[in-house]
Amino acid sequence: MFKKLMTVAAGVVLAGGLAACGSDGDGGSGGSGGAGGSGGSDEITMGFAQVGAESGWRTANTKSIQASAEEAGIDLKFSDAQQKQENQIKAIRSYIQQKVDVIAFSPVVETGWDTVLAEAKRAKIPVILTDRSVDSDDTSLYKTFLGSDFVLEGEKAGQWLVDNAKTSDTNGDGAIKVVELQGTTGAAPAIDRKTGFEDKIAADDTIEIAASQTGDFTRDGGKKVMESFLKSQQDIDVVYAHNDDMGLGAIEAIEAAGKKPGVDIKIITVDAVKDGMTALSEGKINFIVECNPLLGPQLMELAKKVVAGEEVPERVVTEETVFDQEQAKAVLADRQY
Ligand code: GZL
């Protein structure tokens, strides 16, 4: 959970637009691979340490960052950590050695960053957190956070279930049994989406989370955990998946068990990527809370301000909405990711 008092800047409406990316984004250091630093020109060099390529959301997020760097004339060095914190730390250290002008990253988990961020601070390289936050007492280690309010996303998911409790009691026994597919253990979205969801369902004591386990934000992880829940739990009414990809994996497991997803077992997810919205429009998912991955344009604007030594808000929260099945049908054709 974001440690500081959240001074939520005015909601930011992120421009859409996903263009073909310039740099490689396959884990190598992308971009034009300048000699590090701005090399005397006024071109900004950014080192970006990405979490990985674990989900449709992450793919859209990477494309947005790479396309926006190109549009902004920022030389982007890009790395993919395959969801391993040690790889992100290595990438940040390499950016420090290359004397980039600014470092940005999405911390795969909330803790364990103070040492490497203190190294960046000593090297006088500003750091921007995007997408996920860190749980550190030393807020001088980064300039700003750009991303979503994950607690609010969890609250939106929980509120939908409270508002739709009657139709979610799929076996009519008066109790609403929920199984939860958590995101990556220790990741801000996993911690906060759980917190927000639990806060809201506490209003209805017929709703109970009977089992909860990480599927690591991947489709395969969601499928495997759902298979085990279908064996260990009787009368599951609802799946709450912390992202679409795990929800899509759960759909595969539910169908393999001869049940109808969205009907026999209701499904609530977060993200609203194309595959999730397609399943929602087909009635296999019942509700999706949007999490906007298009952070690129805002990130590049913040980077220019930070490098120029200008003041920036402590936190820039993206604006997001929610979708039911009818709303998904109406917008599916126009979705950019
Ligand atoms: C949320 C982001 C999460 C997405 C997942 O901002 O960190 O990570 O919800 C992704 O799809 O893997």
Ligand 1 centroid from CA 173, angstroms: 34
What does the DSSP assignment read for 171-196? Answer: T-SS-EEEEEEE-STT-HHHHHHHHH
Residue 328 CA to residue 274 CA, distance in Å, equals 10
The pLDDT tens digits of the residues spanning 228-285 come to 999 999 999 999 999 999 999 999 999 999 999 999 999 999 999 999 999 999 999 9
* C-beta separation of 135 from 114 below 8 A: no
Global pTM? Answer: 0.89
Local confidence band at 198 (pLDDT 50, 70, 90 cut-offs): very high
The set of residues, in sequence order, having a beta carbon less than 8 Å from that of 236 and lying 6+ positions away, is 177, 178, 179, 210, 229, 230, 265
Examine the pLDDT at 13 and tell me if it is beyond 90. no
Q: Among 84, 182, 240, 271, which residue has the most ligand 1 atoms within 8 Å of its CB, making it the best to mutate?
A: 271
Examine the pLDDT at 25 and tell me if it is beyond 50. no
Ligand 1 centroid from CA 40, angstroms: 37
Examine the pLDDT at 8 and tell me if it is beyond 70. no
Q: Among 291, 292, 320, which residue has the most ligand 1 atoms within 8 Å of its CB, making it the best to mutate?
A: 291
In angstroms, how far is CA 245 from the centroid of its own chain?
11
Ligand 1 centroid from CA 50, angstroms: 12
Local confidence band at 171 (pLDDT 50, 70, 90 cut-offs): confident
Q: What secondary structure, in 3-state letters, does 14-42 show?
A: CCCCCCCCCCCCCCCCCCCCCCCCCCCCC
Residue 287 CA to residue 161 CA, distance in Å, equals 9
